[in-house]
Amino acid sequence: MSGTSETNILDESFVKSFSALQNIQLLLGTARVNLKKRLVGSPSTRQRIYSSVLIIAVAICGYDMTTDMCILAVLRKLLLAFEEFVNLYKYQLYTKYDWVCLPISLLFNFSLFIGLNKTYADFLTQVKSTRVLCVYLLSVYQEGAIYNKASRMLRELDERRPQFSVYGMFALHAALPLRVLAVASNYVVVQLQFAFL
């Protein structure tokens, strides 16, 4: 155990929750880790050989497209069937009642967006009240476990301010629905100018 560190040892509950996924990855030859007795390591030699054999088998099968048992042929058939399904049913809802369905769906999505921003504003309110509570606890208790916990929480709230972002593209805040509405209305006006001028 000289080559393992504390970061390579996993909890038993974590191992149980991901054991099915690990077994599927082992079966498909895509496992990137070797999980043995709660220790995480690089893939074993047997796993690498098994993955190489599967890659060679798929490559050989991929060159012979005449057999129906080939994995690539089956995947191609599945993707073609899915593409046909999408082409058949992608505009089914909006054919007759698009003048009703489109505004309703836009209003529904925008109301979800406003609800998400409202939830974020409520979360920030709770964070502020937690900060006030921590300051109060620090003023009441001068030492002990409660003092230590409150000071750590206050330090965390000061160092890492909570902020929700959508994949790092933009952050949620109270003015965001108005900004999105402004951009959307600007886009509609530009489209109307192109259509009628």
Domain-located, residue 24: no
More confident residue, 6 or 182: 182
**Cβ atoms of residues 9 and 38 within 8 Å:** yes
**Cβ atoms of residues 114 and 173 within 8 Å:** no
* Count of domains observed in the chain: 1
Domain-located, residue 42: no
pTM for the model: 0.43
Domain-located, residue 68: no
The answer to which of 20-29, 95-104, 133-142 has the lowest mean pLDDT is: 95-104
Domain-located, residue 118: yes
Enclosing domain of residue 172: 98-196
Domain-located, residue 18: no
| CA gap 105, 90 in Å, rounded | 15
For residue 197, the SS3 value is coil
Domain-located, residue 127: yes
DSSP 94-136: TTT-HHHHHHHHHHHHHHHHHHHHHHHHHHHHHHHHHHHHHHH
Domain-located, residue 84: no
- State phi, psi for 170 to the nearest 5 degrees: -150, 155
Domain-located, residue 7: no
More confident residue, 137 or 112: 137
pLDDT confidence tier of residue 96, bands split at 50, 70 and 90:
low
Residue 64 in this model has a pLDDT that exceeds 60: no
